[in-house]
């Protein structure tokens, strides 16, 4: 009997579990022990058997070898395979089609919003302007690199620049560092809040990103910048997103090197930038801990600090 098998943590884990259940094929998912409970629960809910491993890629690969040997399962990797890269790259095609549709409908640019992406104006100067001819660039989060390399392939020959975004915490920006050194970094150990991006770039994505040079550059952002971008998306766009999803947006908003590049090349018109927002695998509990206020603010929220220092209950509309 064929067993579908994957080493994954979030979107891919759930998709593979659901696909396997749909076609009545057993699925085994290898997940790091540090995976968030919500991701584990969601994956199990689709009927997959979850096996846990260590958090590093080397630890996961060791468990993979054991599972394949014991079960004869066929591995479906989350990013390090040409078919996966091409499949994930369809989002780049969809984004380009969405923008073309906006232009054809006379909606202009800088205000489009889609399920998997956000199209907005990035400029070092004024808001108006832009080419009005489609996207100037796309930026996507990068963990294993499947989505980023697929997006880059979708933009090949179009004139659209493609950039990657990573968290910088504890060396999670392995692709950026690898490009600077001219060699792929094969091991990463980080506890960045962007847990979907904790893995090193795979060998196949590296051939697209580095060897073929289809990704123009990599940029990284801090944990605080990621959280600020999450707040913006949740409050203004009314979307629940995971930290990994907004690393591209955080780069566009807060990375000064990236913004200087846009200002230099885009001039006063700036760039029309497509930003990939890649997932919503986050629980209410995790969000609560992530944005837990300082003690003084917490006391005020609990009604402990009033005008006269007395305990009061806040009930303010608006």
DSSP 302: T
Looking at residue 37, its pLDDT comes to: 83
Q: How many CB atoms lie within 10 A of CB 45?
A: 12
Looking at residue 281, its pLDDT comes to: 82
Looking at residue 46, its pLDDT comes to: 92
- Token pair, residue 82, equals 């040409």
- Token pair, residue 165, equals 């975004």
Q: CATH code for 4-75?
A: 3.40.50.1100
Token pair 């004139």: residue: 159
Q: Residues in the chain with pLDDT < 70? A: 1-9, 107-132, 294-318
Q: How many CB atoms lie within 10 A of CB 117?
A: 25
Looking at residue 116, its pLDDT comes to: 44
Q: Return the bridge partners of 207, or none.
A: none
Looking at residue 164, its pLDDT comes to: 98
State how far the Cα of 143 lies from the Cα of 149, in Å rounded to an integer.
Answer: 11
In 3D space, the residue among 218, 216, 223 whose CA is nearest the CA of residue 201 turns out to be: 218
Strands (E), the chain: 4-7, 27-32, 49-53, 74-75, 111-113, 117-122, 137-141, 161-167, 217-221, 271-276
Q: Please give the CATH topology (third level) of the domain spanning 82-276.
A: Rossmann fold (3.40.50)
Judged on CB neighbours under 10 Å (0-12, 13-18, 19+), 141 is buried
Burial code of 199-236, b = ≥16 C-beta within 10 A, e = fewer?
bbbbebbbbbbbeeebbeebbbbebebbbbbbeebeee
Looking at residue 170, its pLDDT comes to: 96
Q: Return the bridge partners of 121, or none.
A: 272
Within the chain, which residue ranges are assigned CATH 3.40.50.1100? Answer: 4-75, 82-276
């Amino acid at each position: 009997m064929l067993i579908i098998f994957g080493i994954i943590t979030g979107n891919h884990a759930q998709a593979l579990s659901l696909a396997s259940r749909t076609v009545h094929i057993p699925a085994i998912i290898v997940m790091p022990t540090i995976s968030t409970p919500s991701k584990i629960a969601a994956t199990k809910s689709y009927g997959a058997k979850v096996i846990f491993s260590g958090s590093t890629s080397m630890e996961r690969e060791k468990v993979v070898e054991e599972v394949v040997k014991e079960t004869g399962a066929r591995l479906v990797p989350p990013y390090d395979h040409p078919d996966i890269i091409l499949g994930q790259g369809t989002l780049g095609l969809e984004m380009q089609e969405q923008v073309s549709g906006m232009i054809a409908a006379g909606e202009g640019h800088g205000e489009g919003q889609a399920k998997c992406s956000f199209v907005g104006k990035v400029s070092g100067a004024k808001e108006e302007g832009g080419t009005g001819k489609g996207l100037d660039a796309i930026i996507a989060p990068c963990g294993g690199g499947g989505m980023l390399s697929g997006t880059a392939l979708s933009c090949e020959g179009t004139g659209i620049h493609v950039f990657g975004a990573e968290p910088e915490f504890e060396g999670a920006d392995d692709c950026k560092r690898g490009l600077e050194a001219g060699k792929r970094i094969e091991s990463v150990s980080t506890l960045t809040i962007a847990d979907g991006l904790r893995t090193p770039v795979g060998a196949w994505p590296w051939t697209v990103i580095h060897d073929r040079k289809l990704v123009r550059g990599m940029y990284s952002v801090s944990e605080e910048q990621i959280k600020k971008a999450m707040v913006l998306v949740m409050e203004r766009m009314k979307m629940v997103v995971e930290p990994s999803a907004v690393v591209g947006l955080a780069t566009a908003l807060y990375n000064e090197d990236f913004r200087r590049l846009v200002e230099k090349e885009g001039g006063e018109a700036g760039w029309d930038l497509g930003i990939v927002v890649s997932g919503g695998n986050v629980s209410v509990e995790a969000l609560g801990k992530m944005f837990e206020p300082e003690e003084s603010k917490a006391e005020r929220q609990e009604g402990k600090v009033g005008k006269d220092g007395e305990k009061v209950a806040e009930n303010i509309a608006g």
